[in-house]
């Protein structure tokens, strides 16, 4: 397993005291780790909590990979929604 954007965002979230549920942090950290969630590799290193979160990772994966669209998104229209999510789960100032 290599270190990349997934683990970086996981660390940023943890360092900043996110209120995301543990399943959300698991998804952030492992959503690109295909040997684990697609092929079952490394399962012998998982604890019961990890196994519990895998179901959420599989649900997320459908939206992560297969929800891409060529339709133009009105950023200004959706921006308040996403800003409210950020405000809900992260402090106003982040340590990067």
For residue 15, name the pLDDT band (cuts at 50, 70, 90): very high
Q: In the block, which residue shows the tokens 């992260």?
A: 90
Rounded to an integer, the average pLDDT of 37-52 is 91
Q: Is the pLDDT confidence value at 62 over 90?
A: no
Using CA atoms, how far residue 22 sits from 1, 39, 52, 53, 65, in Å, is 20, 23, 11, 8, 22
7 is in an annotated binding site: no
CA contacts within 13 A on the Cβ side of 74? 4
Mean pLDDT of 42-59: 94
- Domain limits, the chain: 5-89
Give CA–CA dist 76/6, Å, rounded.
26
Residue range 54-61: mean pLDDT, rounded: 93
Q: Is 5 annotated as ligand-binding?
A: yes
What is the average pLDDT value for the chain, to the nearest integer? 92
Query: How much is the pLDDT for 24?
Result: 97
Determine if residue 39 is labeled as part of a ligand binding site.
no
**pLDDT score of 28 more than 80:** yes
66 pLDDT above the threshold of 90 = no
Residue 85: band (very low, low, confident or very high) from pLDDT cuts 50, 70, 90: very high
């Amino acid at each position: 397993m290599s270190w990349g954007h997934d683990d970086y965002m996981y660390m940023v979230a943890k360092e900043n005291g996110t209120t995301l549920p543990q399943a959300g942090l698991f998804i952030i950290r492992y959503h690109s780790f295909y040997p684990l969630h697609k092929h079952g590799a490394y399962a012998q290193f998982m604890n019961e909590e990890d196994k519990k979160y895998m179901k959420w990772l599989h649900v997320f994966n459908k939206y992560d990979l297969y929800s891409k669209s060529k339709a133009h998104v009105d950023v200004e229209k959706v921006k308040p929604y996403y800003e409210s999510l950020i405000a809900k789960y992260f402090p106003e100032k982040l340590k990067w």
